[in-house]
Structure formats: C-alpha cells, structure tokens
Structure 1
Amino acid sequence: MSDVTVSVWTRPLRWQGCLVVVSWKTSPSDIINARQAVDIWRKRFELNGVTEPDLSSQYIIAHVLGAKTVSVEQVKLSAFLTQEETQRIWKCILYPYVYVIEEWDFRDVTLKMKPPVFIPRPETEELVELVLTDLQRKTGSPLCLEVGCGSGAISLSLLKHLPQVRAIALDQSVEAVELTRENALRLGLQDRLKVYHVDVIKDAETVLKLCSNVAVLVSNPPYLFSEDMPSLEPEILRFEDHAALDGGKDGLKVIRAILTLAPQILSDDGCVYLEVDPRHPQLIRDWLEVNVEWLRLAETRHDITSRSVHRAQC
C-alpha cells in the first residue's frame, strides 16, 4: 500500500459572521412596529460586523411575521407588533439568527438549520474548494467520506458540484444525522448520499464495515482544546452542540480516531482533509510518525484569516 496523504486546514479559535449578540433598549412589553424592529436588528448587526445587515434583519422580522422576507404589505410594516410577536423577537436575544431563520447558505446550497446542530462557518467553504480540486482529478465514481457531517454542508456541496461523486456521511448526533438526511432530500441528492448515526471513537468496527475504498476522507471535527471552550462566545456555548466543538484535552480526541481508521478504509491514492486548530499540524505530524504506518502529513494551509501557507510532500 502506498502512502496516504493528509492535508490539514487550520483556522483560529474565534469565528466571524455567523452569530450575533442583540441587545435591546426596549423591553418585551414595549410597543413597536415591524419597521422599527427591522431597524433595531439592522443596527445590532452593523455593530457585530454581520454582512448584509439590512437583508439579515429583514429575514429575522419576516420569520416572526410568518413570511419568507419582508416583502409584505407596507401596512404590516407600519402596524404595531402583537405581544406574542414582540415576545418572539425578544427571545432572539443572544440566539444565533441562523437558527431563527432556520436556513443557511453554504457555497451553492441552501441548508435547513436546527439547533443544536453545528452552524457551518464561511471558512469551511475554502476546505470544500480544496477537496473539489482533488476529486475532480479522480476517475470513475469516487467515494467521499465525511466524518462529523452536522447539517451535511460539506458532503452536499461536493455532491451538487460533482455529479459523479458518491458520499457517506457519519455523525455521533442523531439530530445531525436527521438534518443531513433532510437537507439531502431537499436538494435532491439523497440517492448519492448515505448517512449513518456512528461515533468514530466508540463504533470503529462499524466504520470499517460501512466504508472501504474511500477516495477522500474529509472532516471538520471537534478540535478545540477543552481548556479553550469557556473562551467561546456565549451564544455558541449556549446553543450549539458541545460535542461538535470540544476535541478533548489537546483537541485531537476525534482526529486521532479518524487518522487511525484512515489507512484501513482509504484507496491507495486516498487523501484525508481535516480542519484543525493552528496548534495542531506539528502535533499531528509527530503523532502520525509514531502511531500510524502509511500515513504522512502532506500539506498544511491556513484559512482566510491568515496569509501563510505551508506545504509538505509525502
């Protein structure tokens, strides 16, 4: 068996643009109209650096009004919100607005989103681009395995872009598995995607039975150091699945399990793509040299928050 390559994609601890803290100068009992509510959200989005604050705020209030967007009659925008509508908006304080509008655009797919499933970050789109480039070079119908699929963002984006690709998606969360299946059905990609409720640490034998001759293994695993968890924004800690974030003492708990399984399920020219903490590449390199035969760290890149790129050969 030839060496299998591992590409590592790093990003910093703090993420941008997906979550927002909303503070109000009004209280749940204050009487406001929809237009005023939109303006409140817009200002808070601007303060938090959210892109397209006007559109984002309109989506929030439209959700409360039961519409897709605020393309409702002007009279509704001027009408005072009911107490129930105001209460619903009030509950959005410190709540990820992606969960409020229940959808999220990731590359060229629109995903259904539900708490506590991990919200895919924009940086992960760059990881998908790397995997796409690799898969495009492969012949036949290559099989892609995603470990920790969450909403299915990575697998579904790959499948939509490459009709010749098949995929298997695994997650330890029942909610994530159900959401990925729902998103696959919404996008008409269910025939090329198999989704399983599997924990790669506890169910290693099951993974080996389900997966073989995998061309690309890709994962955005839980990689945060446990000691760093309290440093996350309160909205993340309160609403998102901790199991999708906490990678254990050194952030490598799930990553080690993935890399241990990789040589047994990958094709001879298979690759592993992982999104990890910036402190991980050397730790992974050292661990592989001691623990996993045939697997070598091939490349390290940094996401859009950093301009440095490190490349290593097999």
Structure 2
Amino acid sequence: MTQGLVYLAMWRRTLSTNHRCLGCRGGGLLKRVWSAHSRLVSGAPALPADRITALQAADLWRTRFEEEGVTEPEESSRYIIAHVLGAKTMESVEPERLTEHLSRGKTEQVWQLCTRRLSRMPVQYVIEEWDFRDLTLKLRPPVFIPRPETEELVELVLTDLRRKSGPGVGSESGQTCVEVGCGSGAISLSLLKSLPQLRVFALDRSQDAVDLTGENASRLGLRDRLQIYQADVMKNAESVLSLCGSASALVSNPPYLFSEDMASLEPEIYRYEDPAALDGGEDGLNVIKQILTLAPLVLSDQG
C-alpha cells in the first residue's frame, strides 16, 4: 500500500488574524459590521503644495486611512512609503532619509499607491510584492496572497523530504513534489530553493496563477526544475495524473472556507482575491476530498 506524504494547509476552519492579507484583521477575515465597509471612499487628500518628508507623508496617510475605516492604517502607510524609498520597512531606512523632503516624483508615487490602498486593495497588491520565507515574490490580483501559516507547511514538507532522503549532500536527487493550487508559487519555489535536487510539478486552475508562478520562478532562477500546468483537479483528474507521474510528496494550500462564509469576507479579500482560492464548497472540503482521492494515484511507493 502506498504510504504517501500529503500536506494540506487546512488547520484552521476560519482564517485567523495572522492568516491574512495585510489590512484584514479583527475577527479573522470576517467582515465587521461597521459603516466604513459600505460607504464610498471620499478620495485621496490633495497633493501637498509644499514638499513633505517621508514621516509627514506616513502620518498624513495614516490619518486618512483611519478616517476612511481602512484596517491597519499605520502599517499600511509605512509599508507603502518604505517601498517608495526602496526598502522593506520604515525601520530599515536611514533615519536622516525619513526627515528629508521627498522629491515631487516620490510624493506622487506615494499618493498613487496610497490611493489604491484607500480602495481597500491589500498592501501586497499595492506594492506588487511580498516576502515569503527567504523569497521576495511578485504579487498581483487576483492571485491568492500567501499567508504566514503557509511557511509552517513548507517547513513540515522540507523536514519530511530531508528525512526520507537520508544523509548526504544531494541525497534528495530524484525526489519530486506535486503542488495543487500553486498561486504565486510560494510553496513550490520555497521547496525548490531549499532542496537543490528537487523537481516540482505545480498546478493551478487559474491562468493568472500559472503565469505568476512562472514569472516568479524565472526571477528567482528556479524555472529549470519547475513544470507548471493549468489544470483543475475538480474537472480533469485524469490529466493531472498524466502530467505529474509518480511523486514523492503532494502538497496543497486548498480552499477550505464554507461557501456561506464567502459573503462576509473583508473588502480586501472579496474585491481582489480569486474567490475560487477560498471557497471550499458547502462543507469547505470539496477540493480537499478530491486531493485525498488523487493522492494514492499520484504518490510513489516511496512517497
């Protein structure tokens, strides 16, 4: 009997505070009942007539985000301004740069990006990138934003694959992994970077996700060990089997929210992320059941 390794990031029925895109907090991703979610954004503040510093811009936009009911207003403004300054965080910027006047071009860039956040676009989409483990990934809607807990899933897979391969450099040679629902490529690319001999088959029903995974793989120099396919495990199970062959591990961060919960998601989610990446059907298990059905057919005896 095949003893395969199947890894599913499904340990929370609802998405927790940390399991979110930036800007979605409170009661998980569930929309809080407050008027700011339904009223229209009144618009961005006018560009200042005089030059302002990065700190002044951060404070101005934090205030505007608070007025408009945008969640995590301070974090949002600081991440965006750090990005404009070419940094990951404001804390990593030299203090003197924060008190220097922004150029007109950078001021306009801050206003453009913060206006997008004002429309409840997640910061990850606004700045078009985000860090996952030791990778910086390009991100764009509607491709699912990788959540922090998924890093734990990657660590679990790495631990088991290394244990199975035994001691010795390059001992993971010949191992293959299949990811169902690759999204931005966060899981597949993390595994490839950590295991230099591993090969991965990444699948997603969305062409947007397939394209973004390929783009991230090329940027990170990992494309040669990655095969990416547009495939829907719910509709084309046989084609999935023919594409992947026999694998050492099967990994997925599948949709697992109840369909009835989809209507109560935060604006950052329902306006921008692909609902198919979240909606798990009536019981939240539609895709999960299909993955578990395919697992014995995809995994090798050594899987």
Aligned amino acid, residue 59 of structure 1: A
Please name the residue that 2:81 is paired with.
Answer: 58
Number of aligned pairs? Answer: 262
Shift of 1:252: 1.3
Distance 1:163 1:55, change over 3 A: farther
**Structure 2 counterpart of 1:38, which letter?**
A
Structure 2 residue 157 is matched with structure 1 residue 131: yes
> How many angstroms apart in 2 are the aligned matches of 1:53 and 1:29?
16
Cα distance change of structure 1 residues 135 and 5 upon mapping to structure 2, 3 Å threshold: closer
- TM-score, structure 2 length as denominator? 0.76
For residues 184 and 174 of structure 1, the distance between their equivalents in structure 2, rounded to whole angstroms, comes to 15
Pairwise mapping of residues 144-223 of structure 1 onto structure 2 (< 5 A)? 144-223=177-256
Contact 2:22 2:76 in 1 (8 A): no
Measured after TM superposition, the shift of residue 27 of structure 1 is 4.4
Q: Is the CA contact 2:142–2:272 (under 8 Å) kept in the aligned structure 1?
A: yes
Counterpart of 1:13, as a letter, is T
**Structure 2 equivalent of residue 96 of structure 1:** 122
Give the CA deviation at 1:7.
Answer: 5.0
Question: Which structure has more strand as a fraction of its residues?
Answer: 1
User: 1:117 aligned to 2:120?
Assistant: no
Amino acid across the alignment from 2:114: I
Q: Kindly tell me: are residues 111 and 255 of structure 1, through their superposed partners in 2, closer, same or farther at Cα, counting changes over 3 Å?
A: same
Match of 1:28 in 2: 44
For residues 255-286 of structure 1, what are the alpha-carbon distances to aligned partners after superposition, in whole Å with 9 as ceiling and x for unaligned? 1221111111101132xxxxxxxxxxxxxxxx
- Matched residue type, 1:196: Y
Match of 1:283 in 2: none
Letter in 2 for 1:20: G
CA contact (8 A) 2:77 2:114 kept: no
SS at match of 1:239: coil
1:94-121 CA-to-partner distances (Å, cap 9, x unmatched) read 1101011111100011101011100000
Which residue is equivalent to 1:13? 14
- What's the offset of the Cα at 1:164? 1.6
Name the counterpart of 1:68.
86
Given that residues 21 and 268 in structure 2 are in contact (C-alpha distance below 8 angstroms), is that contact kept between their aligned partners in structure 1? Answer: no
After superposition, the Cα gap between the structure-2 partners of 1:223 and 1:4, relative to the gap in structure 1 and judged at 3 Å, is same
SS of the counterpart of 1:91? helix
CA–CA separation in structure 1 for the residues paired with 2:73 and 2:250: 32
Matches within 5 A, 1:210-249: 210-249=243-282
> Distance in 1 between the 2:23 and 2:215 partners?
26
Q: Using the alignment, how far apart are the partners of 2:268 and 2:277 within structure 1?
A: 15
Mapping of residues 38-53 of structure 1, within 5 Å: 38-41=58-61, 48=71
Q: Percent identity?
A: 54
- Unpaired stretches in structure 2, ≥5 consecutive residues: 25-35, 88-92, 166-172
CA contact (8 A) 1:34 1:78 kept: no
Structure 2 match to 1:252: 285
Kindly provide the CA deviation profile for residues 134-158 of structure 1, in whole angstroms up to 9, marking residues without a partner as x: 1112333210000000000000001
Q: Quick check: 1:146–1:217 contact (8 Å CA) kept in 2?
A: yes
Please provide the CA RMSD for this pair.
Answer: 3.1
What's the CA shift for 1:2?
Answer: 3.6
Report the residue type matching 1:37 in the other structure. A
Q: Is the 8 A contact 2:124 2:139 kept in 1?
A: yes
Question: How far apart are the structure 2 equivalents of 1:131 and 1:197?
Answer: 23
Residue pair 2:125, 2:140 contacting (<8 A) in 1 also: yes
Structure 1: 5+ residue runs without aligned partners? 271-314
> What SS does the corresponding residue of 1:188 show, helix, strand or coil?
coil
Partner of 2:132: 106
